[in-house]
Amino acid sequence: MTAEAPAGAASGWRGGIGQGLAYGALGLPLAFVALPLYVILPNYYASEFGIPLAALGALLLGARLLDAVADPWIGRLTDGWFAHSGRRVIVAAVIAAVVVAIGFRALFFPMVTGTASLLAWCGAFLAVTYLSYSVLSVLHQAWGARLGGDEGQRARIVSWREGLALAGVLVASVLPSVTSMSVSTATFALTLALGVALLTRAPQPRVGDGAPAPPLMFEPLRTPAFRRLLAVFLVNGVASAVPATLVLFFIRDRLQAPSFEPLFLASYFAAGALSMPLWVRLVARFGLERSWLVGMLLAVAAFIWALGLGAGDVVGFALVCIASGIALGADLTLPGAMLAGVIQRAGHGERLEGAYFGWWNFATKLNLALAAGIALPLLALFGYTPGARDPSALSALSIAYCLLPCVLKLTAVALLHFLWLRPPAGPTPALPETVR
């Protein structure tokens, strides 16, 4: 599965910091808005406005389900914009950016009072913000995939996008606590405007001639290579999302080191961002698939080490965060580059990138839901509750945080080996003339 179709010929990509920043800059504000929506908003509405957690949880679940289900349809719209003209793509990006900036600001500064009115306000602007955010995300990913290139180039393109996204996560995790939500929302709006402006100066993907794109939203699911890659991506994604869901419980109760949360999280995300050039270099030597496999095995080694940690093991867990952060760099850089190759080899380059990334983002959001749906009920079943100090409850927490991700990661390793490195035998369809 490592043979390459020639580059998509659309790319003016020559590499370098200027082009990398021009394309990747939009990743920073997109990640910046994602963290507050998922982490800060629930606590904000509960503590500032007294919204009941049960009602807030139901509202957030509904908004997130709407967001996930909408992604394939957003992908279809994105393909239509690319099929029409570059101008339409930019106009769509500008409109989506304005909407998401307004929605994000409105969520944290509601103009209504009362529980029912606040819930209605939050629900309406969550839907608006999530959907416009998803439009920008899918458009940005499809733009990068349309730049084409060999494995190394695709990995570099994705690493710029995801590396700057990790920078956005770091900023979003610190800024609200050291300034205010007013400053944070203004910072987001400014970085978003800069990201869209820089995108207009990035290497331009080839776009259509104004003819409508064919209605092929479900075509990616009919592509065997995409189904195989998606299976690996789903299992590996759940494996990564489980510890992300449980990490604060592990720090506070197993390690009993809540004051070190910022250090642990910063070391994790910084290691992920700084490791991306390393993974790009490994791709040049070993290829995308084997490099991703190395990243998965590194994550397994890190979490096996974490299983032996207990109260006060701050240095040991900081090393776990660094090692698992380096593995995160592989998860963020390599699967997206592999997907771009699948699109090229299937003959869908410059036509269906949006559809593929719509389903890809749907799977990403499904990972988060599955992780919570698997890990949290298991913990409750084995007697763990937040704040527990009972040895059996803490053992259950360690098993869920450390061993469950290892089992899932090793399953993903097996799937990558058998479904991708040694795919099922079958006829290989001829590529269209345009991608040979």
3-class SS letters over the chain: CCCCCCCCCCCCCCCCHHHHHHHHCCHHHHHHHHHHHHHHHHHHHHHHHCCCHHHHHHHHHHHHHHHHHHHHHHHHHHHHHHHHCHHHHHHHHHHHHHHHHHHHHHHHCCCCCCHHHHHHHHHHHHHHHHHHHHHHHHHHHHHHHHCCCCHHHHHHHHHHHHHHHHHHHHHHHHHHHHCCHHHHHHHHHHHHHHHHHHHCCCCCCCCCCCCCCCCCCCHHHHCHHHHHHHHHHHHHHHHHHHHHHHHHHHHHHHCCCHHHHHHHHHHHHHHHHHHHHHHHHHHHHHCHHHHHHHHHHHHHHHHHHHCCCCCCCHHHHHHHHHHHHHHHHHHHHHHHHHHHHHHHHCCCCCCCHHHHHHHHHHHHHHHHHHHHHHHHHHHHHCCCCCCCCCHHHHHHHHHHHHHHHHHHHHHHHHHHHHHHHCCCCCCCCCCCHHHC
Q: Say what the pLDDT of residue 190 is.
A: 95
The whole-chain average pLDDT of the chain stands at 83
Q: Say what the pLDDT of residue 142 is.
A: 87
User: What tens digit of pLDDT does each residue of 323-375 get?
Assistant: 999 999 999 889 988 988 888 888 886 778 888 888 888 888 787 767 766 77
Q: Say what the pLDDT of residue 2 is.
A: 38
Q: Say what the pLDDT of residue 15 is.
A: 65
Q: Say what the pLDDT of residue 6 is.
A: 38
Does 31 have pLDDT greater than 60?
Answer: yes
Distance CA 360, CA 72 (A): 8
Tokens 């009919």 map to which residue?
A: 222
Lowest mean pLDDT among 85-99, 148-162, 223-237: 148-162
Q: Say what the pLDDT of residue 155 is.
A: 82
pLDDT greater at residue 414 or residue 7? 414
Does 81 have pLDDT greater than 60?
Answer: yes
Residues 88 and 354 sit within 8 Å (Cβ to Cβ): no
Residues 232 and 296 sit within 8 Å (Cβ to Cβ): no
Does 382 have pLDDT greater than 90?
Answer: no
Residues 331 and 119 sit within 8 Å (Cβ to Cβ): no
Distance CA 269, CA 329 (A): 9
Q: What is the mean pLDDT of residues 259-281?
A: 87
Distance CA 234, CA 325 (A): 19
Residues 83 and 351 sit within 8 Å (Cβ to Cβ): yes
Residues 296 and 330 sit within 8 Å (Cβ to Cβ): yes
Residues 169 and 270 sit within 8 Å (Cβ to Cβ): no
Does 209 have pLDDT greater than 60?
Answer: no
pTM given for the model? 0.73
Q: Say what the pLDDT of residue 415 is.
A: 94
User: Where residue 429 falls among pLDDT bands split at 50, 70, 90?
Assistant: very low
Lowest mean pLDDT among 6-10, 131-135, 201-205, 302-306: 6-10
User: What tens digit of pLDDT does each residue of 149-206 get?
Assistant: 777 788 888 888 888 888 888 888 778 777 888 898 999 999 999 999 999 988 888 7
User: What tens digit of pLDDT does each residue of 114-124 get?
Assistant: 989 999 999 99
pLDDT greater at residue 247 or residue 319? 319
Residues 42 and 142 sit within 8 Å (Cβ to Cβ): no
Does 430 have pLDDT greater than 50?
Answer: no
